[in-house]
Structure 1
Amino acid sequence: MWNNLVLKLILLVGLINFINGDSAPRVVCYYDSRSSLKDGLGKVLPTDLLPGLSQCTHLVYGYAGIKANDFKLSPLISNEELDVNNGLYKQVTSLKTQYPSLKVLLSVGGDADETFEKYLALLESSTGRIAFTNSVNVVLKQFGFDGLDLAFQFPKNKPKKVRSTLGSVWHSFKKTIGAAGKPVDENAETHKDQFTSLVVELKNSFRIDNYELAVTILPNVNITWYFDTASLKNYVDYINIAAFDIYTPVRNPKEADYVAPTLSITDRNVDDNVDYASTYFVANGLPGNKIVIGLPTYGRAWSIEKDATITGSPPIATNGPAPQAVQTRTPGLYSYPEICNMLLNDQNKNLKGELAPLRKIVDSTKRYGLYAFRLPDDNGNHGVWVGYEDPDSAGNKAAFVKGKGLGGVSIFDLSTEDIRGSCTGGQTKFPILQKVKEKLK
């Protein structure tokens, strides 16, 4: 009798949380803990997130990894993360004292943990999956997390070239007959089944504590290969599609193009957009309110050649990543505040060379996305092309999500947002996050 009562209470709590969780769109805010190790403007600590957290339904701490020898959950920065009093894990979950309704999840993988091979090895080992599941539960309980974000590191699709419609059809046919080169994962079908088993095992182990389980699909992972929607839909709280980085200067050093289009673009691969991914999952049985669309708070930047088109309209020939900026300190990667301060303004309008302003091109169709560029000088130097999101474009994407009845938007991530309000003279902090929240209401 007592066991039956406990079971009924668990089911009742689960039902209440299900109803509450689906009553309003999710705003899932990622925090990349590697930013805590940086210096200067790039350094972002958990307490720096506080002004933005009122806009978030979820805060996701990234990233943990897995050990190759025993498949147990492992911190990626250092063991200091696991200090039960003041480690980063504890600092992040302690933010719930100021925002009690905030769900704080721990993310595993996220392209932060070495290579994908050990993740496939985990799937292939039934004992490894058990060890991983047990270790996850220990960490969630010990540090007060509300669940797990499984940002599993599958092999990536091979980099794509911009193709015409006819070229896309021919390429798809070649893939079907095996003429487009060796597949990135010859055992994808087996790995799909094993991933389903892992998700089921995790969720079943979470039920007693009512932990949430999210699955994040990382950029350039084939959604048709690894995700059995019909089998997953009852075991995930939501699936988060990181619908960006379709082109990056590392994957595509010779050609820049829209990095996160909302809708399909003429003469492009038909699956390289937000609409395709969300439509695929709905068509395969996943409820729309379990689909969350991810957008970046950073831009991907290329160095462009002297003979680049004067309009900057992509696709555009490039020379690899653009030089690094002062905050992100990574070639080809600019935070939103770095980009907004590079746009034409009163302070830079007369500057030349590497300090000359970028020209912003707005997408009035709300289809393709936003970009900004600076043509090379007479010597062929200092040309930059960057695809990115700003508050308006992010708001357009949130409106698209709401219009399709999807489950919300995820922000990748708060550490590259304008947390100090530098784009507005200190008047507005977290402007992308705020616009997303406003459009989802």
Structure 2
Amino acid sequence: MRANLILSAAMLAALPVTSVAASEVVGYYPGWKHETFPVSSVDAAKLTMALYAFVDLCWDGKHGNADPAINDVAPCQQPLNGALAWRDEAADGANLRALVALKQQHPQFKVVISVGGWNWSNRFSNVAASAPARANFIASSLQAMRRYGLDGVDLDWEYPGEAGVPCVAGEVCARPEDKQNFVVLARELRAAFDKAGKQDGKRYTITIAAGGNGNYVGDGAWVKELARSLDWINIMAYDYHMPWEKSTGHHAALYADARDPATANGFYASRSVQRYLDAGVTKDKLVLGVPFYGYGWKGCAAGPDGDGQYQLCQGGVTDGIEGGNSYGYGQVLRRGAGYQRYWNASARVPYLYNAAEQVWITYEDPVSLGEKTRYIKQQGLRGAMFWELSADSDGRLLQALSDGMR
């Protein structure tokens, strides 16, 4: 069976590259990192869109996350249910103006605010379920578009129907009807943006960050309906394996590897794309997400192949970003002697292993990005999205992605 999977991937790679109507290269800019990664570091020539992360939603006069381990709760600048709420209005405004200024030299470049994210999706369910709150969100978004010269909104709801970060006791952050309410929110936002766009002489875009697994897509009917109001869907085709798992695994495999126990669940990028195609979403509304970061495990046995792949470990590393288990690409490149790069020919992804330190790392590099951009073109998808710009400090991954999408 594994030989067949390898052959299937090889056959796909050999297919002729077809032309696509648009080749989006979409990157998230983390606003809270502006001091260490200023807007001046953004190479707008290689991007079609920057998604400014993140803007929150106001509810009961406050925003943030009630869990202090995630975020502190803060008062909203505009205390209306559903209105946009800024982390730091002065800093966010300065960052947005600086990003928009890049459009003068790079007319293909657009600047969009991303609402929500992992930490700040806890109010989407309330807002989407309330007609007045939806109206406040739309009005607040249009106000931001016009104030800063922005090009649209990215709805990063993680996730409708099953909140990624659970609510604290007594609060609601997920409902069974979330997905249908999301459809209504997007439909109303589309109508308002189209009307405003005619007045302003431009098109305001609406995109979403969407899960790649079967739980998110479900039977697909709601996704197809939602897509009618969207310019495109950014599929988060990563985090298929995480360091809290007991064994190592690739977090952004392109194709299946029969040796991976998660293969049966379709935890790989090409399967995620197929879920949306099967739901009836057109190819020109699908953008493949790729990670500019990796994950590390420690205490990993070498295994029969001596490379630590799919082996039991003692947990995630703690020397990554902000003392966590994730690494930016620059950190991966700076790993010391003893780290050997390997290549999974079935999944089409690299990995590192240090037998002496027993550390195993899954990540993306220019070679694997070349495989993914080829796949995007073969499938006729709209383009690529990545999280996030500051993780690629020397620009190698963005260069590879930009080159591949041309």
TM-score by shorter chain over 0.5: yes
**Contact 1:156-1:221 within 8 A present in 2 as well:** no
**Contact 1:302-1:321 within 8 A present in 2 as well:** yes
Provide runs of 4+ in structure 1 moved above 4 Å.
218-221, 306-310
Query: How far did 1:218 drift?
Result: 4.5
Equivalent residue, structure 1, for 2:72: none
- Secondary structure at the counterpart of residue 61 of structure 1: strand
CA–CA distance in structure 1, aligned partners of residues 361 and 127 of structure 2:
37
**Contact 2:253-2:268 within 8 A present in 1 as well:** yes
**Contact 2:213-2:267 within 8 A present in 1 as well:** no
**Contact 2:55-2:85 within 8 A present in 1 as well:** yes
- Secondary structure at the counterpart of residue 222 of structure 1: helix
Equivalent residue, structure 2, for 1:370: 350
Equivalent residue, structure 1, for 2:154: 149
Which residue of 398, 401, 406 corresponds with 1:436? 401
CA–CA distance in structure 2, aligned partners of residues 99 and 150 of structure 1:
25
Pairing of 1:109-188 with structure 2 (within 5 A) = 109-113=116-120, 116-154=121-159, 155=162, 187-188=175-176
Q: 1:283-330: per-residue Cα shift (whole Å, max 9, x none)?
A: 2221101100010111111112457566234322222221224xx333
CA–CA distance in structure 1, aligned partners of residues 89 and 175 of structure 2:
34
- The TM-score with structure 2 as length reference comes to 0.80
Q: Give percent identity, aligned residues only.
A: 22
- Secondary structure at the counterpart of residue 29 of structure 1: strand
Q: 1:54-94: per-residue Cα shift (whole Å, max 9, x none)?
A: 11111111111112222211112x122354xxx22222222
Query: How far did 1:227 drift?
Result: 7.1
Which residue identity does 1:319 align to in structure 2? Q
Equivalent residue, structure 1, for 2:233: 239
CA–CA distance in structure 1, aligned partners of residues 109 and 134 of structure 2:
29
Q: In structure 2, do the counterparts of structure 1 residues 105 and 221 end up closer, same or farther at CA, with 3 Å as the change threshold?
A: farther
Query: How far did 1:383 drift?
Result: 2.5
Query: How far did 1:157 drift?
Result: 7.5
Query: How far did 1:417 drift?
Result: 0.7
- Secondary structure at the counterpart of residue 344 of structure 2: coil
**Contact 2:31-2:92 within 8 A present in 1 as well:** no
Aligned Cα RMSD in Å? Answer: 2.4
Which residue identity does 2:402 align to in structure 1? K
**Contact 1:401-1:408 within 8 A present in 2 as well:** yes
Q: What are structure 1's unaligned runs of at least 5 residues? A: 1-21, 38-42, 159-184, 343-347, 350-356, 420-429
CA–CA distance in structure 1, aligned partners of residues 300 and 365 of structure 2:
25
Q: Which moved more, 1:61-70 or 1:303-312?
A: 303-312
**Contact 2:84-2:141 within 8 A present in 1 as well:** yes
Q: What are structure 2's unaligned runs of at least 5 residues? A: 1-19, 61-80, 166-172, 198-202
Equivalent residue, structure 1, for 2:8: none
- Secondary structure at the counterpart of residue 362 of structure 1: strand
- Secondary structure at the counterpart of residue 236 of structure 1: coil
- Secondary structure at the counterpart of residue 118 of structure 2: coil
Which residue of 315, 323, 326 corresponds with 1:330? 323
Pairing of 1:4-43 with structure 2 (within 5 A) = 23-37=21-35, 43=36
**Contact 2:352-2:360 within 8 A present in 1 as well:** yes
CA–CA distance in structure 2, aligned partners of residues 82 and 402 of structure 1:
35
- How many residues are matched? 349
Equivalent residue, structure 1, for 2:89: 79
CA–CA distance in structure 2, aligned partners of residues 237 and 96 of structure 1:
20
Equivalent residue, structure 2, for 1:417: 392
CA–CA distance in structure 1, aligned partners of residues 282 and 212 of structure 2:
21
**Contact 1:30-1:413 within 8 A present in 2 as well:** yes
Query: How far did 1:187 drift?
Result: 4.2
Structure label with greater radius of gyration: 1
Equivalent residue, structure 2, for 1:259: 251
Q: In structure 2, do the counterparts of structure 1 residues 248 and 219 end up closer, same or farther at CA, with 3 Å as the change threshold?
A: farther
Pairing of 1:187-336 with structure 2 (within 5 A) = 187-188=175-176, 190-207=177-194, 208-209=196-197, 210-218=203-211, 222-225=215-218, 228-249=222-243, 252-266=244-258, 267-268=261-262, 269-305=264-300, 311-325=306-320, 328-336=321-329
Which residue identity does 2:349 align to in structure 1? G
